[in-house]
């Protein structure tokens, strides 16, 4: 895979890192019970709470949003690469999520006495009052913090301090950025291949099995195509050509007729089959193993 030099040089101008940290309340602890021969170790669920469930759902919503509007950093787990065009959308969503999280904290605070009472009844001899902090401390365990940072660049002032180190860091940054862009390119290619392959699986279902068409059928593809230009930070011309082809296929498909016209379904499947094999070849060139039986 070849990443163009201009893409490597301009990444820091086209996107930024989002560092997002989550904190959750622990709901499991190790339990030790004695039998006649040895200790039996198991886990006990010390907290059952609607607030805990709400926090999980909030985390899922944020991750789903970031999946749509950003890319995962190859080198920094939990760090997202957000195209400049998407920063405002992402930030608005996170700000709203923080407001929701504050409400979840308040909810846990209000139900904390009931949580402890439930655990005491449910756990019996395994209940340990020391497992439960105050309501204030428990609710404070729910947290989400974030900050933006620039994509790695070499400070220009380093050139005047230590020229050798400056040149070494330039090369290190270039290689790191190139690998990030390679990862973005591979991720977008694999994601689109999975979307198209899932569409084909629907089209190829045996007679008698339910096939869901309409807007749901094209939803993931439409979302991918809508955000592709912004997320295509590696300037992947090959994938851009595939996306253009898919847009033509989608725009030329009568969704209403697709539901009942098996001939149209077969024609669409043939079009998608050609696209999946072209994409599988592209991904194989990236060094990934592709199961051609699946596509």
Buried/exposed 88-122: b ≥16 CB within 10 Å, e otherwise: eebeebbeebeebbeebbebbbebbeebbeebeee
- Residue 57: per-residue pLDDT: 98
Which long-range contacts does 245-254 make (Cβ < 8 Å, 24+ apart)? Answer: 245/275, 246/192, 246/196, 246/221, 246/275, 249/275, 250/218, 250/221, 250/222, 250/225
For the residues 81-86, what does the mean pLDDT come to? 97
Q: Residue 212 — very low, low, confident or very high, per pLDDT cuts 50/70/90?
A: low
Q: Residue 295 — very low, low, confident or very high, per pLDDT cuts 50/70/90?
A: very low
- Residue 140: per-residue pLDDT: 97
Which residue is associated with the tokens 């969503």? 93
Residue 197 CA to residue 181 CA, distance in Å, equals: 24
Fold of 161-294: 1.20.120
| pLDDT above 80 (res 3) | yes
- Residue 291: per-residue pLDDT: 45
Residue boundaries of the structural domains of the chain: 5-150, 161-294
Residue 43 CA to residue 46 CA, distance in Å, equals: 9
For the residues 161-180, what does the mean pLDDT come to? 82
Q: How far is CA 25 from CA 50, 61, 265, 281, in A?
A: 12, 18, 49, 45
Q: Which of 35-49, 100-114, 253-267 has the lowest mean pLDDT?
A: 35-49
Q: How far is CA 46 from CA 105, 114, 131, in A?
A: 18, 12, 7
Q: What is the pLDDT of residues 233-277, one digit of tens each?
A: 999 999 999 999 999 999 988 888 888 888 998 999 999 999 999
């Amino acid at each position: 895979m070849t990443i163009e030099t201009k893409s490597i040089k301009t990444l820091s101008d086209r996107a930024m890192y989002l560092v997002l940290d989550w904190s959750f309340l622990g709901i499991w602890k190790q339990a030790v019970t004695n039998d006649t021969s040895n200790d039996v170790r198991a886990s006990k669920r010390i907290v059952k709470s609607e607030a805990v469930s709400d926090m999980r759902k909030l985390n899922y919503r944020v991750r789903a949003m970031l999946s749509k509007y950003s890319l995962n950093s190859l080198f920094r787990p939990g760090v997202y690469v957000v195209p400049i065009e998407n920063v405002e959308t992402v930030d608005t969503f996170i700000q709203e999520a923080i407001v929701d999280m504050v409400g979840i904290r308040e909810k846990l605070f209000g139900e904390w006495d009931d949580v402890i009472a439930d655990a005491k009844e449910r756990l019996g001899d395994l209940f340990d009052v020391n497992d439960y902090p105050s309501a204030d401390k428990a609710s404070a365990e729910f947290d989400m913090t974030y900050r933006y940072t620039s994509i790695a660049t070499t400070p220009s002032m380093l050139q005047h301090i230590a020229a050798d180190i400056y040149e070494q860091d330039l090369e290190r940054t270039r290689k790191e950025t190139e690998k990030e862009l390679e990862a973005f390119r591979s991720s977008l290619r694999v994601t689109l291949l999975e979307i198209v392959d899932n569409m084909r699986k629907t089209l190829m279902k045996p007679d008698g099995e339910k096939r869901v068409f309409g807007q749901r059928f094209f939803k993931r593809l439409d979302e991918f195509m809508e955000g592709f230009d912004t997320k295509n930070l590696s300037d992947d011309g090959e994938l851009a050509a595939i996306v253009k082809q898919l847009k033509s296929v989608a725009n030329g498909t009568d969704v209403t007729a697709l539901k009942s016209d098996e001939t149209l379904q077969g024609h669409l499947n043939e079009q998608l089959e050609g696209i999946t094999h072209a994409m599988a070849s592209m991904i194989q060139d990236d060094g990934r193993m592709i199961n051609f039986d699946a596509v």
